[in-house]
Structure formats: structure tokens, C-alpha cells
Structure 1
């Protein structure tokens, strides 16, 4: 069974059986009613990362020249423009569809199949859109915070959205299946390698720190960088991060 179908199945099971009270007490974080379950998955992911993923990522970083590493990141970002365009269209962002389409065309041609991010140099800024954000724009609530095996922080809405994005992605249609998994693995490996050393930025309870960071980041993306001013009623455009 493909990974995205497994994710969707897990989300359906969690939602259908109404296990909220069985997994956490009533006095916990209201955003995280499944904290007991989530912490268990988090501990599993953290152990797998420490003993398996991190060593591989360090090896990748050690043998991969910086220009090649950046080129791989650019290549996968360029493929992601197709997802961005689709979700921009579903959200009614016509201008962003044109920008993302222009980025894809320029980087695929002049940027040598996306290896070089030429579009950014000429002022076409990359924005990341996904189906979780689209659902939020359509008014769908995030649902409980959810930590997925191997995939990490998410929510019921965003996990479902990630499954849809994965199912509809360009890499998801690569044949044979072995090549598809190799592409996905390289993408995840490059992403993890880029985060090496970030652990030192965390403070306090690691689980809570990552949960808060994830939820704040998702809110930022859903609102296109527009954050609410706590001292008034006006929105303001925050710094990109």
C-alpha cells in the first residue's frame, strides 16, 4: 500500500473511533487532545532519527558538495511548483498561479531542470502551498495536533492534505516503483541534512517546542505571512521566516 494511503487510513481510524479521551486527560493542551499517543510516536520518531536518519544525513552532507546539495534542493522545489500552482488555483490566487508557473518555466529551462533557482534571482519569490492550506482557506478546521510515524508533526487536516498532495504529486507517478521511492528518499534525506545542527536551537521540552513551532508556522503559511497584531485589530505583514 502506498505511503499516502497509509497516512489517510491512519487519519480515518483516529477520527472514526473517537479515541481522544482515552489518549489524554481533559486538562491538557486543547490543541493536542491525543498527547499520550503523540508523545509515543514522537519518541519512536526521535529514536529512529537519532540512530538511523541522522547518521545517514551526516554521511550525505559529508560527501555531497554544497553546490550539489543546493542543486538537489532546488530540483525538488521546482517539482513542488506544480503542487503550488494547483493549490493556488484551488484557493483562487490567480496572481500566484502565474508567479509559480513562471518560476517553473524559467527554472526548468534556463535553470537546467530546476537545478539552479534562476527565478529567485530575477525577483520571482517562491511560496509554498499545499492542500492542507487549501482546506484551511475553504474553512476546514485543523483538528487535533497529530504526530505521524516517520513524518512528524501534523494535524488531522494537514495530514489528510499531505496525503492528497503526495497522491497527486509528479514523483508519485514515477515508474518503476523503486525509482519513485528512491526520489522520495533523496528528497527527505536532503531536507533532513539541511536541518542538521538545528537541535541546538531548541529549549525546554522538545516535544512541546516542536509542536508550538509547527502550529505557529502553519498559521503563518495559511495566512500568507499576515499575523494578527495583539495590540489592535489591524493585521500586519510580518517578516518572512
Structure 2
């Protein structure tokens, strides 16, 4: 990717994050949930995302599962997970966690060299553990508070901290290094479909179990992210989460 294109993409992401925060601030109400003071705005974005998912993303993911053989889907998931292992390696280093950094780097190396670029998950078969770590978790590890819950257009549940981390995650995505725009966009689309396909079962359970899908999703997301940061602190050197 050329420098101008890279800078332009990062500016677009920063603008999106800033616009989201600005609009969310206007939506704050006196009776807001303490963890979700931006709820009126967030619910509007949630309804938009749900409509897009219902009309486009879920049907495509469902068709993908129905027409694509399981071994192929597994290979696709392994490929993207392998790319994630590389970024998790750097985040483990940022958190001063050499054990997890070494394990993730070993996973990436083994699967890239012996697993056809990551299509085969040789590392898991060899018993090498995976620790998924993103930059939002790294910020939490070093004491950055979560901040208000935020629902991002197309991207879904987040928080102020995790939105900032997401900008870094996207900038560091190895797919961004591809110069061929058509190939890059095709891989991004395939990754989205792969992720959504893996959530089909969970979304069906949510449809059946939750009276208020928005509140259920929000509480599940915030509790899960807090648990992830807490586990990192327990394994680290005692830096608090700041929440």
C-alpha cells in the first residue's frame, strides 16, 4: 500500500471514531445506564447494523456455510487466525508477556512454513497454545479505562478505549500491506463472511433467548472485555485496569 493511501485510510478511521464520539455525546441522557450513557445513539446504530446484517451479511454467511465444504471453511478460518497470531505476538510484547509472545510467534512461524501459509493449523495439532490479544486489551492492560460503551456503524459493540485500539488494529492488519486493491478488498470481504459464519449459531441463540438483544449484547461484550483485561493483569506485573 502506498503511503498516501495508508495515511488516507487512517484519517478516515480517525474521522469515523471522532464523529461517533461527537454524535454519541449529543445523545447522552440523564437516565442513562452508567456503563452506557450514550444508549439512545447506540440503539440507533444497533438497529442500523441489525438491518444490514439481516438484509446482507447473515444471508451471505449462511449461503457460504451451505455451499462451501467444511474443510475449505476451516482452511479459510485458519488462514485469518494465523494472521491474527502475528499481531497477537506484538501485543504480548507490548504487555511484557514473553511467554505468550513466544507461543504466538511459534504458532505463526510453524503454520506459515508448514501449514501452507496458515491454511493448515499444524501448531494446534502440536499443542502450541494461542492467546488472542488486540490493542484495546493492551491499552486496558496498562491502565487505560474502558470509557463509555459505543456501537460502531458496521463494526458493532465497542468502547471508547476499544475504538482507539481498533484504529491501531486495522492499521497493523497484514492485509493492509497488499498493494493490489482488488485482492485486498476480496480478502477483507472473505474475512467478514468467515467471522459472521462462525457466529451464526450464537446469533440464533440470541434471537431465541434475549428479550432485549441490545442490552444482552452490550452486557455480554463489556463483561467479556473486562474479564479479558483482568486475566492479563493477573498474569502480568500488576498494573491496574483503571476502571
TM-score range, shorter chain: 0.7 to 0.9
Check if 1:51 corresponds to 2:62: no
TM-score w.r.t. the length of structure 1 is 0.87
Conservation of the 8 A alpha-carbon contact between 1:84 and 1:127: yes
The structure 2 residue matched to 1:208, chosen from 215, 221, 228, is 215
Q: For the residues of structure 2 that align with 1:100 and 1:201, how far apart are their CA atoms? A: 32
**Tell me, which stretches of 5 or more residues in structure 2 are unaligned?**
235-243
More helix by share: 2
* Number of equivalent positions: 225
C-alpha RMSD of matched pairs (Å) = 1.9
SS of residue matched to 1:197: helix
Could you give the per-residue CA deviations for residues 49-71 of structure 1, whole angstroms, max 9, x where no partner exists?
Answer: 00111111111111110011011
User: How far 1:223 moved relative to its partner?
Assistant: 2.4
Check if 1:9 corresponds to 2:6: no
C-alpha change, 1:186 and 1:118, in structure 2 (3 Å) is: same
C-alpha change, 1:19 and 1:204, in structure 2 (3 Å) is: closer
Q: For the residues of structure 2 that align with 1:149 and 1:214, how far apart are their CA atoms? A: 16
User: How far 1:206 moved relative to its partner?
Assistant: 0.3
Q: For the residues of structure 2 that align with 1:69 and 1:5, how far apart are their CA atoms? A: 34
What is the match of residue 168 of structure 1?
172
C-alpha change, 1:7 and 1:158, in structure 2 (3 Å) is: same
The structure 1 residue matched to 2:228, chosen from 221, 226, 233, is 221
Q: For the residues of structure 1 that align with 2:133 and 2:215, how far apart are their CA atoms? A: 25
User: How far 1:185 moved relative to its partner?
Assistant: 0.9
C-alpha change, 1:105 and 1:34, in structure 2 (3 Å) is: same
User: How far 1:18 moved relative to its partner?
Assistant: 8.4
What is the match of residue 187 of structure 1?
191
Check if 1:112 corresponds to 2:119: no
What is the match of residue 149 of structure 2?
145
Regions of 4+ moved over 6 Å: none
Q: For the residues of structure 1 that align with 2:204 and 2:66, how far apart are their CA atoms? A: 20
User: How far 1:190 moved relative to its partner?
Assistant: 0.7
**Tell me, which stretches of 5 or more residues in structure 1 are unaligned?**
228-241
TM-score w.r.t. the length of structure 2 is 0.86
Conservation of the 8 A alpha-carbon contact between 1:220 and 1:226: no
